[in-house]
Structure 1
Amino acid sequence: MNSTDIFLVAMMIIFGAPYLIWRLARLDYYAPLVVVQILTGIVLGPGILGAAFPHYYDTVFSGTVIQALNGVAWWAVMLFVWIAGIELDLAQVWARRRECGITASLALGVPLVFGSIAAIMLLGWQGGWIGAAAAPWQFVLGVGMACAVTALPILILLMEKLAILRLPLGQRILRYASLDDIAIWAVLAVILLDWERVGRQLLFLLLFVCAAWLFRRLMRRLAESDRWYVGLIWLAACGLAADRAGLHYMVGAFLAGAVIDREWFDQTRMDLLRHHVLLVVMPVFFLSTGLRTGWSVGGAAVFVAAGLLLLASVGGKLAGVHIAGRLLGWGRGEAWSIGWLLQTKALIMIIFVNILLDRHLITADTFTALLLMAVVSTMLTVPLVAPRLRASGGDRQPLSLDDAARPADEMNALPNAAALIDGTST
């Protein structure tokens, strides 16, 4: 078979195998399809089936095919992060800044500390975890942040499944997760900071602010149909500039979306775009992520590391949210449900650790342990939260006007990325 035929065989496997497993095993209660796609990639990768049947792996996932799949995966994840940046809404967070600030900081800070301690334990246990280009502090902070991350897109899917997304409880959780989403990218920028190229990185940020100001003025003058095309050109340009500056194209993709006003696009079309990206191209990213796993330190060691990281991630998140609940006087059982939902990992965390692997800050074995931790933590969420929600009534009161609408005076006071660039309020 020629390269095109083998590529299409790989695409059939990427879309077919996870879907069949997900449907035939009836796993939709426990995990979104994206989790099964990641697990399937791990099984199909070089560490399991690739080791057992090397000829299969070398044929189907040859260097040429992997290169083609990587191109699709890069653009898919850039689109997804760009959309996440566009939809980042800080107005509701600012309106309830005391509650959100306390909860988000504890929900992020405590598992960050727990995860950092786990990373230090891995370094002291044996070699093979830290990447060749990493300073110890980068490895510790990177693994700690991976344990603290909340996967906002997967969180939304799970809350839709639990029928709480549009209820007050769901809106509260979204506000906490949105604030943490900003912190994730800020910490990533610190981790990737290259002191040899810090001047180039600072120049990129300065030029980005100027370019974003001009870009926003242009976008206001365009019809919506033209904004989609111009927005995609802007996305590619920002990704390229960030990568050339020594950051990462994902940082550029997020910044490209963060300076765009959500109101410039029809929300229904934006929802459809997100859905189609998840359906059509993101499976390539999820499964290709699984193909990057490694087991050179030994399978047992990887599973032990994954268990340690899972304990740090879940325990830290539940502890942090419990402390926030005590400080804010939450009702009985709220911290449990909110904590388990906020510890959902998968998508954003996987993007985060892919970047760490790309920059050689972690090894393939650490990457594998973090992936396994993310998959298990996400699969635990619905089975542990659903019974508690049923017992408590699931916070089934309808969404109040305060939860559904944004107070105009508080919105005008909101300091957001767009306002900092061109002095306007979104």
Structure 2
Amino acid sequence: MPKENAEWQIMTTVAGIGVILLVATMVVVVVRSVRQPAVIGEILAGVILGPSVLGLFPGDLTGLLFPAELRPQLSVVAQIGVLLFLFVVGWEFTPATIRGHRRSTGLIWLSSIVTPMLLGVAMAWLLYPRYGVVDGRQVGLLGFTLYLSVAMSVTAFPVLARIISEYRLQSSRVGVLALALAAADDVFAWCVLAAVVALVTTSGSAALISVLAWSVIYVVAMFWVVRPLLAWAFQRMSAAQPWPVMVTAAGVLLSAYVTSVIGIHAIFGAFMFGLVMPRSLAPALRAAVQVPLERVGQLLMPVFFVVTGLSVDLTTITGMTLLITVGIVVAACLGKLGGVTVAARLSGLSPSGSLVLGLLMNTRGLTELVVLNVGLGLGLLSTELFSAMVVMAVVTTAMAAPLLSLTLRSSAAVSSRPDLRQDAGPAAPALPTH
């Protein structure tokens, strides 16, 4: 390859990342001014720079900024950002969050998972005749159905935690309950999605059994070998040394590689490495590891949103597709918002507390986009259906803040309801803003 061509590729990619960061910053500032989470601005920045907006102008500006031959390089940068994000989410998850609320979360959690999954199954059967062929290849009905059921059931744990903090619900019964439910939802959804990936990527029952067997070996090794080794290693490290963050970053990337080789996608390796990270680290050492990796992830995440935006074409959402998109949004809200609100009311929460819990659990944010990108990469989603699902993720996340404000408008009313008072437990963890 000529030197000039190689340099052009490198510098064009660098310039594209610069444009991404600049546009994302500007859009995030705008959405934050109307009390929307940063993830909404970053998703919108990706859509703006993609074919849905910038691509409509003459001169193929999207292709000029992000040439097709350079998009694999952007995808590598985006993937690193996603892996670091999921690692932090996994590290912040503590089983004690669920353990302390098993009795109160039982019915609500079942409803928050089962209701949207059943609606996802129904939606898959309705959509399969229209979207069962992607790029000329017939999609398996079972994989398509299981995948959509998972995509409809996720909750964005980090976005939820940030909203809870902003609305000062972190010590209320509803806030603590929402964190426990979202954590349980995410772990369950990742497990089912891993099974879907294995089902779709393997050919024959023998290959599927092999993937599942290696997955079990991997999980056992992570908890019984890697976790003790990490605890032993970190006990001998200092926060002043560069080794802790370097060892952790290497572990995240290598764990992601292993799960990719096994056949259950790289994102599960990053999440699992976060799960097995020692929880008993000294605060200074934990901050020395988590803060740099979290900031690098946040810096790279806008690239992920633009890579996603390049696959979103809102111009395809017309006519019947527009009706389908509206139906997907309605089904998503019925599944999470409706299912959780009704179950919470039956469990004894007040009407306003039940609605607040439903609104919190209905946020999907970056977690949904990660799931959607997995489906797109597996060939389960066409561009048209992928775009409709991205719209659903944006709408369900963006609607939370204004509806919560309406529900919690009267501070006197809030203080009069026990399930919304600040007396239920520990504060919500500080998570990424996505």
Same fold, judged at TM 0.5 (above): yes
Structure 1, residues 314-358: CA drift from partner, whole Å, max 9, x if none? Answer: 112122113322331112221111101100011111111111111
Q: Which residue of 1 aligns with 2:426?
A: 404
Contact 2:231 2:278 in 1 (8 A): no
**Structure 1 pair 265–62 and aligned structure 2 pair: CA distance change class (3 A):** farther
- Post-superposition offset of 1:181: 1.0
Instruction: Pick the aligned partner of 2:406 from 371, 387, 399.
Output: 387
Taking structure 1 as the reference length, the TM-score comes to: 0.86
Amino acid at match of 1:132: R
Q: Which residue of 2 aligns with 1:2?
A: 8
| Distance in structure 1 (CA, Å) of the matches to 2:26 and 2:247 | 38
Say which is worse superposed, 120-129 or 200-209, in terms of deviation. 120-129
- Post-superposition offset of 1:125: 5.0
Contact 1:88 1:178 in 2 (8 A): yes
Q: How is 1:233-244 mapped onto 2 (pairs within 5 angstroms)?
A: 233-244=250-261
Instruction: Pick the aligned partner of 2:369 from 345, 350, 354.
Output: 350
SS in 2 for 1:404: coil
Q: How is 1:226-375 mapped onto 2 (pairs within 5 angstroms)?
A: 226-264=243-281, 266=283, 268-269=287-288, 272-273=291-292, 275-294=294-313, 299-375=318-394
| Distance in structure 2 (CA, Å) of the matches to 1:180 and 1:94 | 14
Q: Which residue of 2 aligns with 1:215?
A: 226
| Distance in structure 2 (CA, Å) of the matches to 1:181 and 1:10 | 32
- Post-superposition offset of 1:150: 0.5
Are 2:114 and 1:104 aligned?
no
SS in 2 for 1:264: coil
| Distance in structure 2 (CA, Å) of the matches to 1:351 and 1:278 | 14
- Post-superposition offset of 1:399: 3.5
Q: Which residue of 2 aligns with 1:419?
A: none
Amino acid at match of 1:399: D
Contact 1:41 1:287 in 2 (8 A): yes
Are 2:90 and 1:80 aligned?
no
Q: Which runs of 5+ in 2 are unaligned?
A: 1-6, 428-434
Q: Which residue of 1 aligns with 2:40?
A: 35
- Post-superposition offset of 1:207: 4.2
Q: Which residue of 2 aligns with 1:174?
A: 179
| Distance in structure 2 (CA, Å) of the matches to 1:52 and 1:344 | 32
**Structure 1 pair 275–94 and aligned structure 2 pair: CA distance change class (3 A):** same
Contact 1:82 1:235 in 2 (8 A): yes
SS in 1 for 2:280: helix
Are 2:210 and 1:197 aligned?
no
| Distance in structure 1 (CA, Å) of the matches to 2:280 and 2:135 | 43
**Structure 1 pair 204–145 and aligned structure 2 pair: CA distance change class (3 A):** closer
Q: How is 1:6-21 mapped onto 2 (pairs within 5 angstroms)?
A: 6-21=12-27
- Post-superposition offset of 1:123: 2.3
- Post-superposition offset of 1:5: 3.3
**Structure 1 pair 133–243 and aligned structure 2 pair: CA distance change class (3 A):** farther
- Post-superposition offset of 1:32: 1.8
**Structure 1 pair 129–165 and aligned structure 2 pair: CA distance change class (3 A):** farther
Taking structure 2 as the reference length, the TM-score comes to: 0.84
SS in 1 for 2:381: coil
Structure 1, residues 238-281: CA drift from partner, whole Å, max 9, x if none? Answer: 21111112210112222222222322363544663465145311
- Post-superposition offset of 1:297: 5.6
Contact 1:151 1:348 in 2 (8 A): yes
| Distance in structure 2 (CA, Å) of the matches to 1:224 and 1:305 | 54
Amino acid at match of 1:290: G
Are 2:395 and 1:376 aligned?
yes
Say which is worse superposed, 390-399 or 235-244, in terms of deviation. 390-399
Q: What is the RMSD computed on CA atoms of the aligned residues?
A: 2.6
Number of aligned residue pairs: 402
- Post-superposition offset of 1:398: 3.3
| Distance in structure 2 (CA, Å) of the matches to 1:286 and 1:297 | 19
Amino acid at match of 1:220: A
| Distance in structure 2 (CA, Å) of the matches to 1:2 and 1:281 | 21
Q: Which residue of 1 aligns with 2:431?
A: none
Contact 1:204 1:245 in 2 (8 A): yes
Contact 1:129 1:366 in 2 (8 A): no
Contact 1:130 1:362 in 2 (8 A): no
Structure 1, residues 73-119: CA drift from partner, whole Å, max 9, x if none? Answer: 11111111111111111113112212122211111211121222222
Amino acid at match of 2:271: F
Q: Which residue of 2 aligns with 1:186?
A: 191
Contact 1:29 1:382 in 2 (8 A): no
| Distance in structure 2 (CA, Å) of the matches to 1:141 and 1:385 | 31
- Post-superposition offset of 1:66: 1.4
